[in-house]
């Protein structure tokens, strides 16, 4: 079992912004693409909607050296199916660009907050 990094020189990024060379712009672009993916795929659980449940779910996962997402788990749940829904969406994410340490891909833990807010 290889070490899982929490902090690396190059953080893993959501795909779709590889043509941007500026590090800050690339991160901003990748974060936007990730949010588009999450909020484009998440379905507000009916029970949560009916009961007015809102708040922040946090999903922790590992971005592997090849960019796959593994070991996804809910570390903060607001209930009413929201945690399960956030986890479902995380598990459908495409391969990421892996994080790197000293130029080599490494396993990186990632914490992702997902906001549930009713209209």
What tokens does 17 get? 């912004």
Give bridge partners of residue 5 from the DSSP assignment.
Answer: 108
Residues 58-109 have pLDDT tens digits of 999 999 999 999 999 999 999 999 999 999 999 999 999 999 999 999 999 9
d(Cα 110, Cα 42) in Å, to the nearest integer? 19
Residue-level pLDDT at 119? 85
pTM of the predicted structure, to 2 decimals: 0.94
Taking residue 21's Cβ as centre, other Cβ atoms within 10 Å add up to: 7
d(Cα 104, Cα 45) in Å, to the nearest integer? 40
């Amino acid at each position: 079992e290889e070490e899982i990094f929490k902090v690396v020189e190059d953080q893993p990024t959501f795909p779709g912004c590889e043509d941007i060379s500026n590090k800050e712009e690339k991160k901003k672009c990748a974060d936007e693409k990730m949010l588009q993916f999450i909020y484009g795929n998440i379905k507000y659980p009916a029970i949560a909607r009916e009961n007015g449940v809102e708040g922040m779910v946090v999903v922790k996962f590992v971005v592997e050296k090849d960019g796959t997402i593994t070991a996804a788990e809910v570390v903060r749940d607001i209930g009413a199916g929201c945690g399960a829904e956030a986890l479902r969406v995380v598990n459908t994410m495409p391969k990421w660009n892996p994080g790197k340490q000293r130029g080599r891909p490494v396993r990186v833990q990632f914490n992702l907050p997902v906001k549930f807010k009713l209209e």
